[in-house]
């Protein structure tokens, strides 16, 4: 029997299952305990697991991410929640210069089995200091694994394999997905955190995306189907290591590709995917690779401007048409 729940519920289920499964696991971050989390993900968890395992921290990302690294080195399995991706910049030194490099710097003597969760993306009128998509920045860094669950099953199922990883794993949860509803089986299904997923099969054009843009991309694919265009939708799910083999296999079959990324176009993760396609599948393509990204402005607060700044289904459909020579 499946149960109808929200993405938020799925994340909470994954957290609770991990805490019940391994006494070394604990959650720490700003407002995760008594308040129940900025996005209500951890509501009720402190009552069940206690203040030692669901720990409220001071407002210091540098401090509590550093403490999480120390806890991981000490044999625990911390889950550190950073309230929003913009605030992760305050802990860049800890993530990039310590967590990501320690195995290399120690000659493989030490790893940092740390999971960092954070909200990313726009669409909830939280303005420029709380709404950007910076996961592509972290995907640039060797030593990190970067996950972007877009479905309820992934939101629940990616956490445990992330905790089993001997090195740091970052999980980016799109703010626009927390209220997403869907079916979830009572038992978690295993999730491969090294592989992309084909969410919709198609033959005419490959649409590649991840995170909050998946559902807009699926909407675009449905609109294209109404025009007689069969679009394949690939959910990258994992930005590092990138499963480019799945992307290449699809693009070599459809001969066209559109990359959808909520990051800014310049230096975007979409640019990396596009570059790899051109480097390794150029002669299989029958049209230039298209990119649909956010407008290069700080994300506005006003809803109509915020929506105008973000990739939308209409822009994805238009990009797919261009690859097919069907501009309108």
Q: One of 61, 81, 173, 262 is an active-site residue; which one?
A: 61
Domains in the chain, number: 2
> Over the stretch 254-305, which tens digit does the pLDDT of each residue have?
999 999 999 999 999 999 999 999 999 999 999 999 999 999 999 999 999 9
| Average pLDDT value for residue range 70-76 | 98
Query: Is residue 225 in some structural domain?
Result: yes
| Same domain, residue pair 49 and 100 | yes
- Which of the following is catalytic: 30, 81, 130, 306? 130
- 0.85 exceeded by the pTM? yes
Q: Is residue 192 part of a domain?
A: no
Q: CA quadruple 312, 318, 218, 134: dihedral positive or negative?
A: negative
26 and 163 within one domain: yes
Q: Are 280 and 248 in contact (CB under 8 A)?
A: yes
Q: C-alpha 108: how far from its chain's center?
A: 28
**Domain coverage including residue 263:** 197-323
Catalytic site residue 61? Answer: yes
Tell me which of 184, 206, 225 is where a domain ends: 184
Taking only the tens place, the pLDDT of each residue in 132-143 is: 999 999 999 999
**pLDDT tens-digit map of 81-97:** 999 999 999 999 999 99
Q: Which of 160, 184, 208 is the last residue of a domain?
A: 184
How many CA atoms, within 13 angstroms, populate the side-chain half-sphere of residue 199? 27
Closest CA to 62 of 19, 116, 122, 123: 116
- Within this chain, do residues 159 and 228 fall inside the same structural domain, yes or no? no
Q: Do residue 174 and residue 205 come from a single domain?
A: no
**Together in a domain, 149 and 9:** yes
| Residue 46 contacts residue 78 (beta carbons within 8 Å) | no
35 lies in the same domain as 176: yes
Residue 328 forms part of a structural domain? no
Cis peptide, bond prior to residue 246, ω within 30 of zero: no
Contact between 14 and 159 under an 8 Å Cβ cutoff? The reply is yes
């Amino acid at each position: 029997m499946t149960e109808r729940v929200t993405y938020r519920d799925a994340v909470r289920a994954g957290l609770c299952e991990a805490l019940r499964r391994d006494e070394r696991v604990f959650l720490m971050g700003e407002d995760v305990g008594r308040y129940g989390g900025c996005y209500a993900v951890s509501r009720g968890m402190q009552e069940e697991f206690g203040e030692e395992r669901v720990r409220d921290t001071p407002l210091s990302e540098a401090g509590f991410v550093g403490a999480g690294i120390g806890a991981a080195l000490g044999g625990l399995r911390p889950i550190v929640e950073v309230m929003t991706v913009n605030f992760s910049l305050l802990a860049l030194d800890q993530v990039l210069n310590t967590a990501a490099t320690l195995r290399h710097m120690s000659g493989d003597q030490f790893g940092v089995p740390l999971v960092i969760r954070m909200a990313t993306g726009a669409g909830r009128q939280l303005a420029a200091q709380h709404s950007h998509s910076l996961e592509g920045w972290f995907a640039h860094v060797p030593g990190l694994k970067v996950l972007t669950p877009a479905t309820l099953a992934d939101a629940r199922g990616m956490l445990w394999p992330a905790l089993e990883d001997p090195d740091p794993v970052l999980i980016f949860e799109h703010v626009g997905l927390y209220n997403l509803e869907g079916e979830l089986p009572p038992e978690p299904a295993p999730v491969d955190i090294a592989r992309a997923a084909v969410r919709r099969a198609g033959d005419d054009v490959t649409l590649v995306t991840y995170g909050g843009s998946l559902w807009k991309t699926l909407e675009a694919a449905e609109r294209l189907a109404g025009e007689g265009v069969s679009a394949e939708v690939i959910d990258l799910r994992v930005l590092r290591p990138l499963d480019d083999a799945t992307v290449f296999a699809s693009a070599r079959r459809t001969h066209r590709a559109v990359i959808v990324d909520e990051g800014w176009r310049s230096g975007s993760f979409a640019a990396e995917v596009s570059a790899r396609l051109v480097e390794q599948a150029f002669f299989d393509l029958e049209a230039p690779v298209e990119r649909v990204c956010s407008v290069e402005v700080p994300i506005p607060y006003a809803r109509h401007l915020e929506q105008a700044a973000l990739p939308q289904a209409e822009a994805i459909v238009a990009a797919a048409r261009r690859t097919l020579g069907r501009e309108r």
